[in-house]
Amino acid sequence: MATVSILHFLVLLLRLSISTSSPQQAHESFLNCLSIHLPGHNLSQLIYTPNTPSYSSLLLSSIQNLRFTSSANPLLIISPEDALAIQASVICCKKHSLLIRIRSGGHDYEGLSYRSDDGDGRFVMLDLAKLRSVNVDIRRSTAWVQSGATIGELFYKIGKSSRYHGFPAGSCPTVAIGGQVSGGGLGRLARKYGMAADSVLDAELVDANGRLLDRASMGEELFWAIRGGGGASFGVIISWNLGLVGVPHNVTVVTLHKTKKNEAIQLVYKWQYIAHKLHEDLYLKVDIISKQGKKRGAEAVFIALFLGRCSELLYHMEKSFPGLGVEREDCREMSWIESVIYFAGYTNGEPIEILVDRSLQPKEYNKGKSDYVKDPIPLREWEGIWEMFSKEGAGSMYLNPQGGRMSRISESEIPYPHRQGNLYNIQYLVRWKESGDVASKKHLSWIRDMYRYMSPYVSKNPRAAYINFRDLDLGKNEKGNSSYSKAQVWGRKYFKDNFRRLAMVKSKVDPDEVFWNEQSIPPFTERIYFKELMAYNGSDTT
């Protein structure tokens, strides 16, 4: 215990010495370190400071949430092109006691890959946008994908290689693979094949000591942790080896808009009892979208993906959910890759190349939150939920069914624990274009009020959340005697009982917290273990 305390004290002293040295001295010392470890490299193409002309454009290049453009504040940006540059960067950051944040380049709900929530800019951002290769091996049904590649780029390469292969990731093509997979990766194929992280076969990672590791050399505990535990807590994930899954020659999609309030409420209420029990080839979600204008309110949009022909889909719907009223003319048959484009919001026959266009994601203000539902919400309560959508600043609720394979995978198989017993998960999201405090307050108030309103009807002890819908509201004002005790508040929401195991992995691979942010996994130290043991035995832990 004493050793751990002394170690953390020395780390604090080192960081203090860096902060008290002049910026010029610190910068020169850091550059000297990089030049030693990267002989022959052009450092001007690797490292960017606030005085570098292209610093701002690089920093802003993949910030999609305009809420954080003014608070993005890395001391340095490093833009590596290979593993060697990442290794050198980690070694030199650790030597100079600089924290590291990792940006794959896609989405980041709370911006923690490029900013500090408390305004402290004493960190280096590793921007992995140049690491974006995708190598698909159809014969082996695998793909090596670098973290800077987007889901759309992976889907594009799969679709160009085969009509019979797919991958179970999310629907937004501009999300980067690094964050998507390391946080779990829920998508339309989850009920059939599980999450993106469930299909990981191997990975390349640079750890806190600058070592380049694969699955065999990192060990099964670290390999377990990065598949759904948030990879940025444990190292720099360079690439993933992903197992592809089988899809039929034709799939069927259906979208039905229910705009009449009473009909929509009745159907959403019934959907809760049905969607998680449907055939696992059938994914049926509900988007509850706010209607703006003079008559505020909401509509329910039912969206289905069936891994088969329309006739089979109609059979399953007539058997399980006839009230939804799906007809043959509602069906659209297409290839799986065409359905990827469709679910990304491009429904007019856009070409497959649209999946690799990173500029399509609009830059906007937004805020997200999440929940899991274990028991159907009573019909009368859906009336109240609909009323919430009549308020100013209303956003959307996306209800995604669970069941199928998701319920057959153990909670401890990977860090993502929200498996059996969950009917569906909810993503709350507000988006707005107008700038200013008034607009921001209006929309943020709505989503936080909606989250409070839903508290009686969602999971409890803990009230669960999804790490890829990161939410800094969770445990924000929590007090505790250690970073671990504070982190347990949000940690158990994201990971349930897997949080402690993640913290134990962290204590082995990054005890000095080189990879730290406001919701990174804290190390589980001997002192914490002692306090837990004393509490368990009923002893005084003070």
Query: What pLDDT digit, counting tens, does each position of 65-82 carry?
Result: 999 998 898 999 999 999
**Is 529 a residue whose pLDDT tops 70?**
no
Name, in order, each residue with C-beta under 8 angstroms of 477's C-beta and a sequence gap of 6 or more.
Answer: none
Query: How far is it, in rounded angstroms, from Cα 42 to Cα 31?
Result: 11
Note the Cα 252 to chain centre separation in Å: 27
Spatial distance between the Cα atoms of 448 and 501, rounded to a whole number of angstroms = 30
Exposure on the CB side of residue 374, measured as CA atoms within 13 A: 14
Answer whether residue 456 shows pLDDT above 50.
yes
What are the structure tokens assigned to 277, written together?
């029990």
DSSP string, 458-475: S--SS----GGG--TTTT
Q: Which residues contact 10 (CB under 8 A, 6 or more apart)?
A: none
For 324-350, write each residue's pLDDT tens digit: 999 999 999 999 999 999 999 998 889
Q: Which two tokens stand for residue 329?
A: 């003319």
State which amino acid sits at residue 160. K
Instruction: Tell me how far apart the alpha carbons of residues 206 and 100 are, in angstroms, rounded to a whole number.
Output: 12
Lowest mean per-residue pLDDT among 56-60, 186-190, 423-427, 530-534: 530-534
For the chain, the maximum distance between any two Cα atoms, rounded to a whole number of angstroms, is 72
Q: Which fold has domain 2-127?
A: 3.30.43
| pLDDT tens digits for range 197-244 | 999 999 999 999 999 999 999 999 999 999 999 879 999 999 999 999
Contact by Cβ (8 Å): 199, 245: yes
Return the CATH number of 134-246, one of 3.40.50.11060, 3.60.40.10, 1.10.3720.10, 3.30.465.10.
Answer: 3.30.465.10
CATH class of 251-330+362-465: alpha beta
- Cα–Cα separations (whole angstroms), residue 525 to 7, 207, 229, 292, 500: 11, 19, 18, 51, 11
User: What per-residue confidence (pLDDT) applies to 349?
Assistant: 85
Cα 506 from Cα 492, distance rounded (Å): 16
540 vs 432, more confident? 432
The two three-digit tokens of residue 302, written as one number: 């039912």
pLDDT in tens, 7-61: 344 344 444 444 445 556 767 888 899 999 999 888 988 999 999 999 999 999 9
pTM of the model: 0.92
Most confident of 68-82, 157-171, 347-361: 157-171
Domain boundaries, the chain: 2-127, 134-246, 251-330+362-465, 485-536
